[in-house]
Chain A
Amino acid sequence: MFTKEYMGTTGKDFDTTYAPTWCPGCGNYAILNAIKAALADLDLKNHEVAISYGIGCAGNMNNLIKTYGIHTLHGRSLPVAEGIKLSNRKLKVIAIAGDGDAFGIGANHFIQLARRNIDVTYIVCDNHRYSLTTGQTSPTTDLGDKTKTSLYGNIEEPFNPLTLALASDGSFVSRGFAGMAPVKLKNLIKEAINHKGFSLVDVLLPCVTFNDLNTFPWYIKRVYELDATKYRPNDRNKAFVKAQEWGDKIPLGVFYKSDRLTYEDQQPQLTKELVDQDLHISNLSQLMDEFV
């Protein structure tokens, strides 16, 4: 089943020497493999990619992918990614964070980067928990689910990253699942990376240690692929409706995709990347004359 033809490249070139610290059975292993395979499939070189990591179990992917990487602060992988992209648009910039990081403390940055359409691929490992801090409720925790900090069941309506991305004019909005066929997850991530603009890939995964509700079997009973249906991701309003589907049926794949100008491509002064510019200024005297 997992022949080379099926999987494509495995992304060995992006391996590091560090051993993962995730629990056995964690969905992050599948996401990690899909990311490395995607980078390799796209013929990207290690030095051409910059990854900005959040803090948490997902953020701990920082030690595991051989590219230029920066392990940032909780909730702040996106503004760092934005600074990187604006400095050097030649880099492929990816941000990786968990659901607490991305949709709690980091939610505002998520909205702003979507609005600005900064060309960053945002891979969110969405397990409905703050796992590294041992199992608190997260913004995406299901209604009624009991966690360490929702002892009687969560009463907060869960955050929907897809509808929020759509409402923020996100130009690529998608959902994956760690239990998808590996080649499908890889292809989804490839498509997101190739998309010019802000791409969200909200990857659902179980947390085998702290989440007894959204398990692999729970998901497998419910998920279905959008591209196996008549659904086409070219209508934001239809996508908004589709994105609200949750419960017995959970759609996976690309909900919406469109092309619009990125923020950084609308900077006519970037005839050279910022990082390639000469630091010396020749007309300082002229600038000072303006104050005379």
Chain B
Amino acid sequence: MKKLSIIIGGPAGSGVKSIGTMLAKSASRSGFSVLGYIEYPSLIRGGHNAYQVIISEDKTYCATKEVDILVCLDRKSFDLHEHDLVKSAAVIFDDEEVKIDSNRGDLHFYHVPMTELAVKAGGAKIHGNSVALGAILALVGLDIKKAYGLIEEEFKKKGESVISVNKKALLLGYEYIGKTYSLKIDHQMTSKSKKPLMYISGNEAMALGAIAGGCRFYAAYPMTPSTTILHYLVQKERQLGMIVKQMEDEISVINAAIGAGWAGVRSFVGTSGGGFSLMVEALGFAAMAEVPLVVANVQRPGPSTGLPTWTEQSDLKFVLGAGHGDFLRIVAAPGDVEECFNITAESFNWAEKYQLPVVLLSDKYLAESFFTTDKFNQLNKIERGKILSKKELADLEQYKRYDYRVDGISPRSIPGVKGGEALSNSDEHDEFGFSTEETEVRIKQMDKRFKKLGLMEAEIKNKIKFYGSKEADITLIGWGSTKGAILEAQEILKAKGKSVNFIQVIVLAPFPSKEIKKIISSSNKVYVIENNKTGQLADMIEGLGSMTINRILKYDGRPFFAEEIVKQINNF
């Protein structure tokens, strides 16, 4: 697979993100597949930000350690990434501002006087970013017209003079490379896609999925890396007729979402591990009162405050077991942006049909990286489950909110509708919802709630996705955002003659034990790949009892590279 890995590095606030985004979209609008992976520390100015843009002909699955082009807006960027630069890699920098010295004689240094050219374009130092972008486009051979279009869109509100300065600066940077240097990057890639591709992050895809899934109420407390869901939905609130509410803490967030769900509105909550910790009591409340609820835990490294701006997937067991007492929940983990959209949309159906909490697991890498993808097709229809209309309620002698049903799901009434007055209760309750302490009623209600499990197991499709052939020797297993790296590792191993299949676990509760057991029973070696220290999914699969599970674990706050997985498999 041909790809080009470009990193733009610099302090926060220096334009790393804007150059990276414009570069990525210049490529995506030219029909290339692009992955944008951003690393940033927990601060607002200074530090070191790195925007990795991976451009390829075919779909790019994951970040990579190797760097072909490094754009240094400060010296630190060079020092931090020097050892990842491939042989003969290119380094772009402004040597008036940034002094670089290196022992590597193989590197190609492209000095571009960003500030000088910015001023020449009629601008100031900040416009050096457009100069840098122009230089990169020239080096890589991307169409400058795409970047002009992006500048026009980006600075539309700031007016014509700002647009024209940026365009001039871009052109000067572009021409400077052509005039000054003869050696360009010969990547031999041609753009494949003719369709318009979105360049979208996991969080944005989840937000779109919620909108498509009929969500009208979103509540959140700002917490990295979930906050961009809030930012996106707040922009769309008025246009879509939603309520998007930032509240005083995560406890009020989830309780308000339960109030909304109870009142008949599809509600959604976004947070990260620490916020989810505060929501645990209410999770049980939703389950006991049988109120629909969808919560997204966009994971980051823990425990406690951990690494706020980095990635990990270490909340699996927590989310599966969160809440005191016995109750059911659905837990699902999308592995790419398309799944972020479709699974989120479907989760609202699950929540309303089964009248319980649904937890979606994402992580910083998936949530805040950008991926090119076709515009999403909405696969699901909206299904609201059993809700009684005014007429149906009128026909009943007496409405019982928690009446006993074969499938465990009692029809709901929506507050405000005549005849459906009923009590939803966090206490154990009888069919009417009244608090009770009677043994027989307790058993019947608990059993009723658990009857939903059979239905969920039968009705929820695609709990796993399977890639490869059942006869393969080696089985790789993963969940969530490791999907991309594992798929790429699978390809690398296949190219080396290994026989490999891959189980992506998407629904973690109810857990697809049968489906997984069936596949691994015919494997010779099983590897579970996870971004956590203890191997949480690995423990669950080991619990299925059939065989030794090898663990490939990473918990340094960074996403897996395909090469790392391959290396560890070769070492086992």
Cross-interface CB contact of B260 among A46, A78, A274, A292, cutoff 8 Å: A274
Determine whether the beta carbon of A281 is less than 8 Å from that of B260. Answer: no
Task: Tell me which residues from 174 to 198 in chain B have a Cβ below 8 Å from any Cβ of chain A.
Answer: 196-198
Interface status of A63 (Cβ within 8 A of chain B): yes
Determine whether the beta carbon of B259 is less than 8 Å from that of A70. Answer: yes
Q: Given the complex of chains A and B, what is the CA–CA distance between A279 and B265 in angstroms?
A: 9
Determine whether the beta carbon of B198 is less than 8 Å from that of A47. Answer: no
Residues 436-469 of chain B, each 1 if its beta carbon lies under 8 Å from chain A, else 0: 0000000000000000000000000000000000
Q: Which residues of B contact A80 (CB under 8 A)?
A: 255-256, 258-259, 262
Q: Which residues of A contact B243 (CB under 8 A)?
A: 86-87, 267, 269-270, 274
Residues 115-140 of chain A, each 1 if its beta carbon lies under 8 Å from chain B, else 0: 00000000000000000000000000
Determine whether the beta carbon of A55 is less than 8 Å from that of B418. Answer: no
Determine whether the beta carbon of B256 is less than 8 Å from that of A55. Answer: no
Determine whether the beta carbon of A279 is less than 8 Å from that of B259. Answer: no
Determine whether the beta carbon of A70 is less than 8 Å from that of B289. Answer: yes
Looking across the interface, which residue of chain B has its beta carbon closest to that of A51? B423
Q: Given the complex of chains A and B, what is the CA–CA distance between A274 and B416 in angstroms?
A: 13
Interface status of A1 (Cβ within 8 A of chain B): no
Q: Given the complex of chains A and B, what is the CA–CA distance between A70 and B211 in angstroms?
A: 27
Q: How far is the CB of A86 from chain B (nearest CB, A)?
A: 5
Determine whether the beta carbon of A84 is less than 8 Å from that of B421. Answer: no
Interface status of A209 (Cβ within 8 A of chain B): no
Determine whether the beta carbon of B426 is less than 8 Å from that of A83. Answer: no
Interface status of B226 (Cβ within 8 A of chain A): no
Inter-chain contact total with CB atoms closer than 8 Å: 191
Q: Given the complex of chains A and B, what is the CA–CA distance between A288 and B375 in angstroms?
A: 6
Q: Which residues of A contact B414 (CB under 8 A)?
A: 275
The segment from B76-84, B102-110, B233-241 that touches chain A is: B233-241
Interface status of B522 (Cβ within 8 A of chain A): no
Determine whether the beta carbon of B263 is less than 8 Å from that of A72. Answer: no
Interface status of B271 (Cβ within 8 A of chain A): no
Q: Which residues of B contact A3 (CB under 8 A)?
A: none
Q: Given the complex of chains A and B, what is the CA–CA distance between A231 and B207 in angstroms?
A: 52
Interface status of B382 (Cβ within 8 A of chain A): yes
Cross-interface CB contact of A47 among B237, B241, B249, B416, cutoff 8 Å: B416
Interface status of B37 (Cβ within 8 A of chain A): no
Determine whether the beta carbon of B426 is less than 8 Å from that of A79. Answer: no
Looking across the interface, which residue of chain B has its beta carbon closest to that of A111? B248
Determine whether the beta carbon of B241 is less than 8 Å from that of A70. Answer: no
Cross-interface CB contact of A291 among B199, B236, B426, cutoff 8 Å: B199
A67-B421, A279-B214 as given contacts; A83 in contact with B256, CB under 8 Å: yes
Q: Given the complex of chains A and B, what is the CA–CA distance between A292 and B34 in angstroms?
A: 12
Interface status of B530 (Cβ within 8 A of chain A): no
Determine whether the beta carbon of A87 is less than 8 Å from that of B217. Answer: yes
Task: Tell me which residues from 33 to 66 in chain A have a Cβ below 8 Å from any Cβ of chain B.
Answer: 45-48, 50, 52, 55, 60, 62-63, 66
Looking across the interface, which residue of chain A has its beta carbon closest to that of B423? A69
Looking across the interface, which residue of chain A has its beta carbon closest to that of B236? A287
Interface status of B356 (Cβ within 8 A of chain A): no
Q: Which residues of B contact A108 (CB under 8 A)?
A: 248-249, 252
Q: Given the complex of chains A and B, what is the CA–CA distance between A55 and B281 in angstroms?
A: 14
Looking across the interface, which residue of chain B has its beta carbon closest to that of A72? B426
Interface status of B411 (Cβ within 8 A of chain A): no
Interface status of A68 (Cβ within 8 A of chain B): yes
Determine whether the beta carbon of A55 is less than 8 Å from that of B426. Answer: yes
Interface status of B419 (Cβ within 8 A of chain A): yes
Cross-interface CB contact of B375 among A18, A68, A285, cutoff 8 Å: A285
Interface status of A24 (Cβ within 8 A of chain B): no
Determine whether the beta carbon of A88 is less than 8 Å from that of B216. Answer: no
* Binding site secondary structure of chain A: mixed
Interface status of B378 (Cβ within 8 A of chain A): yes
Residues 260-292 of chain A, each 1 if its beta carbon lies under 8 Å from chain B, else 0: 000000011111101101011100110111011
Looking across the interface, which residue of chain A has its beta carbon closest to that of B375? A288
Cross-interface CB contact of B434 among A18, A83, A270, A274, cutoff 8 Å: A18
Determine whether the beta carbon of B240 is less than 8 Å from that of A284. Answer: no
Q: Given the complex of chains A and B, what is the CA–CA distance between A197 and B452 in angstroms?
A: 40
Determine whether the beta carbon of B282 is less than 8 Å from that of A280. Answer: no
Interface status of B247 (Cβ within 8 A of chain A): yes
Q: Which residues of B contact A242 (CB under 8 A)?
A: none
Q: Given the complex of chains A and B, what is the CA–CA distance between A275 and B413 in angstroms?
A: 12
Q: Given the complex of chains A and B, what is the CA–CA distance between A60 and B425 in angstroms?
A: 11
Q: How far is the CB of A219 from chain B (nearest CB, A)?
A: 29
Interface status of B524 (Cβ within 8 A of chain A): no
Q: Which residues of A contact B507 (CB under 8 A)?
A: none
Looking across the interface, which residue of chain B has its beta carbon closest to that of A284? B212
Interface status of A82 (Cβ within 8 A of chain B): yes
Task: Tell me which residues from 247 to 291 in chain B have a Cβ below 8 Å from any Cβ of chain A.
Answer: 247-249, 251-253, 255-267, 281-282, 285, 289
Q: Which residues of A contact B219 (CB under 8 A)?
A: 83
Interface status of B559 (Cβ within 8 A of chain A): no
Determine whether the beta carbon of A83 is less than 8 Å from that of B260. Answer: yes
Q: Which residues of B contact A184 (CB under 8 A)?
A: none
A71-B426, A73-B282, A269-B242 as given contacts; A87 in contact with B263, CB under 8 Å: yes
Looking across the interface, which residue of chain B has its beta carbon closest to that of A290? B198
Cross-interface CB contact of B263 among A84, A112, A271, cutoff 8 Å: A84
Interface status of A91 (Cβ within 8 A of chain B): yes
Q: Which residues of B contact A270 (CB under 8 A)?
A: 241, 243
Q: Given the complex of chains A and B, what is the CA–CA distance between A267 and B423 in angstroms?
A: 29
Determine whether the beta carbon of B211 is less than 8 Å from that of A287. Answer: yes
Interface status of B124 (Cβ within 8 A of chain A): no
Q: How far is the CB of B26 from chain A (nearest CB, A)?
A: 13
Interface status of B204 (Cβ within 8 A of chain A): yes
Task: Give residues in B with beta carbon < 8 Å to A.
Answer: 28-29, 196-200, 204, 208, 211-212, 214, 216-217, 219, 236-243, 245, 247-249, 251-253, 255-267, 281-282, 285, 289, 375-376, 378, 382, 384, 413-427, 433-435
The 13 listed contacts between A and B (C-beta, < 8 Å) are A47-B420, A50-B263, A55-B426, A68-B420, A71-B435, A79-B255, A80-B255, A83-B262, A87-B217, A87-B260, A279-B266, A287-B236, A292-B196
Q: 15 additional contacts, CB 8 Å, given A55-B426, A88-B416?
A: A16-B434, A63-B435, A66-B421, A69-B421, A70-B289, A73-B426, A76-B251, A80-B262, A82-B256, A83-B267, A86-B243, A86-B260, A269-B241, A274-B217, A279-B214
